[in-house]
Amino acid sequence: MERTLVLIKPDGVQRGMVGEVVGRFERRGLHLVGLKLMVVERGLAERHYAEHRERPFFEAVIDFISSSPVVAMVWEGPNVVSLVRSMMGPTNPALAAPGTIRGDLGVDIGQNVVHGSDSPARADEEIALFFGPEELVSWERAGSAWIYP
């Protein structure tokens, strides 16, 4: 089983979309192993977006992600990184297909409701940034045999 980090960004939290986003992943059959509401402090935001440090939008991204609470989640499942990314749609909501989270709920490339890890290796790094091992819960869903044969 693979794991991925998903953040419901400040715009998603402020617009009351937490239940909608969580529900989409649950209905898809993904397994939730970590969840918390938090404010992303500047240092964490800079570590999380470090790969963009030299880009002109870096400061705006840091300011945005730390402007209001986010919901941080860890989801588990086979090929969960690519599955979550396809459910989210492209970064720019204008290019995201209807049925994707960003296609249905996003309005602007800078405020596109969700973040998801882009590779299994990056997912491991991002999960470690946002969650301690003690915050991740291993548990069995009673109906797992109906989702993962």
Positions annotated as catalytic residues are 115
- Type of residue at 97: A
Q: Quick one: 65 exposed, middle or buried, by C-beta within 10 A (0-12, 13-18, 19+)?
A: buried
Residue of 125, 110, 147, 77 lying closest to 11 (CA atoms): 110
Q: Quick one: 127 exposed, middle or buried, by C-beta within 10 A (0-12, 13-18, 19+)?
A: buried
Q: Distance between CA atoms of 46 and 106, rounded to whole angstroms?
A: 24
Cβ distance 4 to 115 under 8 Å? no
